[in-house]
Amino acid sequence: MNNKNFLVSGVFGGITNFLLGWLLYGFLFKNLYPQNENTNLLFIFLGYITFGLFMAYIFTKWAGITNPMTGFKTGATIGLFTSLSMNFFMYSNMPPNFENISIDIAISILMGAFVGAVIAAVNGKLK
């Protein structure tokens, strides 16, 4: 594994993820998960960076993905499965809101796809 590719593409992917999350969850779908006084943007940012590094690790260590279209498809798949898992756990102790679940899954697929494309593009440029 090329550590430089992993770190650089992971940070680019994490920043892309953060910006998409800000746009989608902060503006377009802000009522999906309303903010309160306890919202910690640092932890949100760190979560997005961690997800970017996670995808970059998969792309550089295991899959060797450097084509943005392949990254887009793979990222969408990762977004689907991580979103399903998170929503199942999140709604395990409350009544499910299927509209919110569907919206969140769609957003996660979209974000994962674009983050995957960015990570693959950066990996391709650094190769």
Q: Over the stretch 38-56, which tens digit does the pLDDT of each residue have?
A: 889 999 999 999 999 999 9
Domain parsing of the chain, residue ranges: 3-126
Residue 12 CB: number of other CB atoms within 10 A?
A: 18
Q: What does the alpha-carbon distance between residue 58 and residue 60 come to, in Å, rounded to a whole number?
A: 6
Q: What is the predicted pLDDT for the residue at 34? A: 76
Query: What are phi and psi for residue 62, nearest 5 degrees?
Result: -105, -40
End-to-end distance of the chain based on CA atoms, in angstroms? 12
Write out the chain in H/E/C secondary structure.
CCHHHHHHHHHHHHHHHHHHHHHHHHHHCCCCCCCCCCCCHHHHHHHHHHHHHHHHHHHHHHHCCCCHHHHHHHHHHHHHHHHHHHHHHHHHHCCCCHHHHHHHHHHHHHHHHHHHHHHHHHHHHHC
Q: Over the stretch 86-118, which tens digit does the pLDDT of each residue have?
A: 999 999 999 989 999 999 999 999 999 999 999
Q: What is the predicted pLDDT for the residue at 1? A: 56
The number of angstroms, rounded, from the C-alpha of 110 to the middle of its chain's C-alpha atoms is: 9
